[in-house]
Amino acid sequence: MPADPHTRAGGTGAADDALAAMTSRLGAMLADLEELVTCESFSADRPALARSARTVAAQGARLLGAEPETIVVDGVPHLRWTFGAPRVLLLGHHDTVWPPGSLADRPWTVRDGVATGPGVFDMKAGLVQMFHALASLPSLDGVCVLVTGDEEVGSATSRALVEEAARGCAAAFVLEASGDGGALKTARKGVSNYEIVVHGRAAHAGLEPEKGVNSAVEIAHQILAVEAIAARAGDGTTLTPTLLAAGTAGNTVPARASLAVDVRVPTQAAQQEVDDLLHGLEPRVPGARLELRGGPNRPPLESAASAELFALAGRLAAARGLGPLRGVAVGGASDGNYTAGAGCPTLDGLGAVGGGAHADDEHVAVAEMPRRALLLADLVGAAR
């Protein structure tokens, strides 16, 4: 990493020239963004993902000068470009939460400096910015680019690829959308997903309810137990009961009940503590039996994993006249959780500036695209 990013930028004139050069790419960026947004890529639609992967691969090949390796796992396509011995990982995903046909109600538009369309903010603009940032560099030696196809649904088929790539790199830059006002994401909570299953015994609710073991009553006790764990947890740990089910008929003591619990934790220690407490739950209704399914899904991206890279980004942004950067901790997870969990310093939220992820008002601030691409190009150059 350079000791003085001002020297690398070459002074104010060079900084202005670099931003002007990247800004000259804006028309091409918008054309590329339209190409990606209008190629729908719902996570659960395998044919759509295949089309999207081909589109992203062609766009990346044109801008990077190399074809990617296409890795298909359980029908989900992932793309990987490798240049030399990688020292820097650039990470993104091409799947979205928008079902097929969403373009009909939310068409691609650019109006008053704002681009809209399904997946434009999360995270197709980030992919475009990444490709154009890399295209501006004189060499891509030491860079690995990984674009996955299942991030929105938990990265089950890509997690191993992400962790493998991260373990060999000195830095990971995640092109997920920024936080409010363009903030970089310097910490993300870890995620654990659990299902508490109660096994009881059925009986006729009118004739002999006393012969049953009521799983609905037991799951009610377990909801209160989960709430008690949540109440004693600190440092931003949350346990949220979500999906609840019990019984099969209105006149039958329910033999089975289940409760899904969403857990978000700021540290690995908190993730382990919650896991231990949930495994220690005991039944309250005589004859009921508990089964705990699931566990930690994504480790937390702790602030220590991003601190040095965030400081570097701040120095580079100042040298380019891109203004002060803000960092923010968020509850949502990304594949950056996996890179940090693998021991790789990670900086997230380097993608689009805008808002409305997963919502009807999803949008991107067009003028920020060259600025973020320039920052990314500087980060890649400094971290290799």
Catalytic residues: 95, 151
Could you give the 3-state DSSP secondary structure of residue 114?
strand
How do beta strands 346-347 and 327-330 pair? unpaired
Under a CB-based contact definition with an 8 Å cutoff, are residues 73 and 157 in contact?
A: yes
Q: Which of 128, 167, 154 is nearest to 22 (CA)?
A: 128
d(CA 357, CA 185): 15
d(CA 79, CA 41): 14
Q: Which of 39, 81, 78, 89 is nearest to 62 (CA)?
A: 81
Q: Which of 298, 330, 319, 315 is nearest to 184 (CA)?
A: 330
| Tokens describing residue 232 | 């004693």
Could you give the 3-state DSSP secondary structure of residue 265?
strand
Under a CB-based contact definition with an 8 Å cutoff, are residues 352 and 177 in contact?
A: yes
CB count in 10 Å sphere of residue 143:
23
| Tokens describing residue 349 | 């939220």
d(CA 246, CA 302): 37
| Residue spans of alpha helices (H) in 233-302 | 268-279
DSSP class of 67: P
What's the first-to-final CA gap in the chain, in angstroms? 8
d(CA 177, CA 1): 25
CB count in 10 Å sphere of residue 217:
18
